[in-house]
Homo-oligomer: A and B are copies of this chain.
Amino acid sequence: MAILDSLIKENDKKIVLLVMDGVGDIPDKDGRTPLSAANKPNMDSLARRSALGLTIPVDWGITPGSGPAHLALFGYDPVKYNIGRGVLEALGLGMEVRKQDLAARGNFCTLDENGVVIDRRGGAGKRRLSTEENQELIELLSSQIKRIEDVELIFRSGLEHRFAVIFRGRGLAEGLPDTDPHIIGEKIRFLRTDDTKLQKTARVINLLTHLANDILKEKKPANGILLRGFSCPPDIPPFQERFRLSPCAIASYPMYRGLASLVGMTLLPVGEEIESEFASLEENWEQYNFFFVHIKKTDSYGEDGNFEKKREVIEQTDRFIPRLLELSPDVLIITGDHSTPVALKNHSWHPVPYLLYSPFVRWQKDARFDEEHCLRGSLGIFPAEKSTNLMLAHSLKLDKYGA
Interface residues of A, Cβ cutoff 8 Å to B? 1-4, 7, 26-27, 31, 54, 58-69, 78-79, 82-83, 85, 88-89, 341, 343-344, 346-351, 359-365, 371-372, 375-376, 378, 380-383, 386, 388-394, 398-403
Contacts and interface: CB of A to CB of B under 8 A. Distances in A.
A61 B392 contact: yes
8 contacts: A2-B79, A3-B62, A26-B361, A31-B363, A61-B393, A64-B400, A68-B402, A341-B360
Contacts of A1: 59, 62
Given A360-B26, A360-B348, A363-B27, A78 B398 contact: no
Nearest to A105: B403
B67 A402 contact: yes
A350 to B, nearest CB: 6
A372 B343 CA distance: 29
B78 A402 contact: yes
Nearest to A81: B402
B362 A59 contact: no
B59 A386 contact: yes
A389 B61 contact: yes
Nearest to A382: B60
Given A402-B67, A402-B83, A27 B362 contact: yes
Interface of A is mostly: loop
A63 B349 contact: no
Given A375-B378, A380-B380, A65 B401 contact: yes
A383 B198 CA distance: 41
Contact of A61 (B61, B346, B386): B386
A62 B400 CA distance: 7
Contacts of A350: 362
A392 B383 CA distance: 20
B63 A401 contact: yes
Given A66-B403, A349-B393, A403-B88, A398 B61 contact: yes
Contacts of A66: 402-403
Contact of A403 (B65, B359, B380): B65
Contact of A82 (B60, B392, B402): B402
Nearest to A25: B362
Nearest to A380: B381
A60 B31 CA distance: 31
Contacts of A401: 58, 62-65, 68, 78
